[in-house]
């Protein structure tokens, strides 16, 4: 009963906020139209509440907007955002003038519960430090060769699963299967461990996979949920679930890290025990960290998702204004 009451309060609060914003939007739109002659603005594609209403099909909704406008604005109660799918703009943001387009405090606050002070949540010195540490390892031939083998093996596994489903006329969720195939590959390259979420052979791995997916979705939902900070403070609803899922993710990954450190202690300098996954290579570079149980690569971040997130860079094609 208590949970239902909280949900009703959340719905009522959101409905009130939507009505208030629509009224404000109408006033702002009228004001902006008067200024169109003086200033040139990108077209308004909608509001953050349109994203909320279309959250179950968010990628399709954003794709539809991108087809109408290569660059457009979405209005919000506290900030407006500019989205672009124009290649020249994306090159300018991500390459030509990269230093000018940081993630900012707004994105950091939303992402830090899952990504900590990881490379995809921070700017400035912290970003440069982690970029410098990881850039060499990510560019080595050993890692490229290891990654190629891992991805080929998982593609073969994916093909077998699809073939079995086709032969037995089984209905499958292809999007979910492709996501699991990607996660399995990233996890093996990062930690040298078979997650096998495609087959679901590991109960612990299955729990991690579900928790990581749900946590990622909850973090994304914060961008359209204006009441997420209140929910986090009260530990209710989606934020309470997010907290539990992050704990599952952190416990699982830290367990793998500790096991890897123990393996390296036992193997010492035995060449036959050498591993090509990213975690092993980072630890091999920082042997003092191995002896203390605190590998330096994880020191800047309270979240072990730092390494995992480093392998799946999101595209920064949106700007805050």
Same domain, yes or no: 74 and 137: no
Residue 318: strand pairing partners:
83
Give 61-107 pLDDT, tens digit per residue.
Answer: 999 999 999 999 999 888 889 999 999 999 999 999 988 988 899 99
Q: What is the mean pLDDT of residues 114-142?
A: 83
Would residue 318 count as lying in a domain?
Answer: no
Instruction: Say what percent of the chain tops pLDDT 90.
Output: 38
Domain assignment present for 109 = no
- Looking at the fold, whether 172 and 240 belong to one and the same domain comes out as yes
pTM for the whole thing?
Answer: 0.72
- Least confident piece of the model among 112-126, 226-240, 257-271, 305-319: 305-319
What confidence score (pLDDT) does residue 321 get? 36
Same domain, yes or no: 130 and 246:
yes
Q: Is residue 217 part of a domain?
A: yes
SS (H, E, C) the chain: CHHHHHHHHHHHHHHHHHHHHHHHHHHHHHHHHHHCCCCCCCCEEEEHHHHHHCHHHHHHHHHHHHHHCCEEEEECCCCCEEEECCHHHHHHHHHHCHHHCCCHHHHHHHHHHHHCCCCCCCCHHHHHHHHHHHHHHHCCHHHHHHHHHHHHHHHHHHHHHHHHHHHCCCCCCHHHHHHHHHHHHHHHHHHCCCCCCCCCCCHHHHHHHHHHHHHHHHHHHCCCCCCHHHHHHHCCHHHHHHHHHHHHHHHHHHHHHHHHHHHHHHHCCCHHHCCCCHHHHHHHHCHHHHHHCCCHHHCCCCCCHHHHHCCCCCCCCEEEC
Residue 117 lies in a domain: no
Residue 177 and residue 284 share a domain = yes
pLDDT for 2: 47
Contact 81/321 with Cβ under 8 angstroms? yes
- Axis-axis angle for helices 174-191, 141-167 (nearest 10): 150
Kindly state whether residues 136 and 271 are assigned to the same domain.
yes
For residue 316, pLDDT over 90 is answered with no
Task: Calculate the CA 227 to chain-centre distance.
Answer: 20
Co-location of 132 and 274 in the same domain: yes
Residue 319 lies inside a defined structural domain of this protein: no
In this structure, are 92 and 137 located in the same domain?
no
Strands 318-320 and 44-47: unpaired
- Rounded Cα distance, 24 and 30, in Å: 10
Domain CATH for 134: 1.10.630.10
Predicted local distance difference test score (pLDDT) of residue 260: 86
Query: Which two three-digit tokens encode residue 85?
Result: 């799918």
Same domain, 232 and 197: yes
Is 26 inside a domain boundary?
yes
Residue 137 and residue 209 in one domain: yes
Neighbours of 51 (CB within 10 A): 20
Residue-wise pLDDT tens digits, 143-182: 888 889 999 999 999 999 999 999 999 999 998 899 899 9
What is the pLDDT at residue 272?
A: 53
Q: What's the pLDDT tens digit per position in 261-312?
A: 888 887 766 655 567 788 888 777 665 544 433 333 443 344 445 444 444 4
Query: Diameter of the chain by CA atoms?
Result: 74
Tell whether 119 is covered by a domain.
Answer: no
CA distance 54 to 61: 7
Q: Which residues contact 107 (CB under 8 A, 6 or more apart)?
A: 121, 320
Total residues found in the chain within this entry = 321
Residue 13, pLDDT above cutoff 50? yes
305 found inside a domain: yes
Other Cβ atoms within 10 Å of 39 Cβ, number: 7
Residue 19 clears pLDDT 60, i.e. is over it: yes
Note whether 134 and 221 are same-domain residues. yes
pLDDT digits (tens, 9 = 90+) for 196-231: 889 888 888 889 989 999 999 999 999 989 899 999
What is the span of the domain harbouring residue 133?
124-312
Nearest to 49 by CA among 189, 266, 187, 226: 226
Q: Clarify whether residues 39 and 173 are in a common domain.
A: no
Q: What pLDDT is attached to residue 20?
A: 61
- pLDDT value of position 202: 84
Domains in the chain, number: 2
Question: Tell me, what's the pLDDT at 73?
Answer: 93
Residues 178 and 128 in one domain: yes
């Amino acid at each position: 009963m208590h949970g239902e009451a909280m949900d009703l309060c959340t719905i009522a609060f959101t409905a009130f906020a939507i009505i208030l914003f629509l009224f404000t939007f109408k006033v702002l739109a009228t004001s902006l139209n008067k200024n169109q002659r003086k200033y040139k603005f990108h077209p308004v594609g909608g509001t953050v509440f349109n994203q909320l209403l279309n959250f179950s099909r968010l990628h399709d909704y954003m794709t539809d907007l991108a087809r109408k406008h290569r660059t457009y604005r979405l209005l919000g109660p506290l900030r407006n955002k500019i989205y672009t799918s124009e290649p020249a703009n994306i090159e300018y943001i991500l390459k030509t003038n990269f230093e000018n387009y940081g993630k900012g405090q707004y994105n950091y606050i939303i992402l830090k519960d899952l990504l900590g002070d990881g490379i995809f949540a921070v700017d400035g010195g912290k970003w440069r430090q982690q970029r410098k540490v990881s850039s060499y390892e990510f560019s080595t031939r050993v890692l490229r060769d290891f990654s190629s083998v891992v991805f080929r093996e998982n593609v073969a596994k994916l093909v077998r699963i699809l073939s079995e489903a086709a032969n037995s006329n089984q209905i499958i969720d292809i999007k979910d299967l492709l996501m699991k195939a990607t996660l399995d590959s990233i996890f093996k390259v990062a930690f040298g461990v078979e997650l096998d979420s495609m087959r679901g052979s590991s109960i612990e791995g299955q729990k991690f996979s579900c928790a990581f997916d749900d946590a990622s979705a909850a973090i994304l939902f914060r961008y359209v949920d204006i009441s997420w900070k209140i929910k986090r403070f009260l530990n209710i609803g989606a934020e309470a679930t997010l907290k539990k899922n992050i704990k599952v993710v952190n416990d699982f990954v830290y367990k793998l890290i500790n096991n890897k450190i123990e393996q390296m202690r036992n193997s010492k300098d035995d060449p036959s025990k050498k591993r090509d996954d990213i975690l092993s290579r980072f630890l091999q570079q920082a042997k003092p960290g191995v002896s203390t149980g605190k590998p330096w690569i994880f020191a800047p971040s309270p979240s072990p998702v730092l390494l995992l997130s480093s392998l799946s860079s999101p595209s920064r094609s949106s700007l805050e204004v």
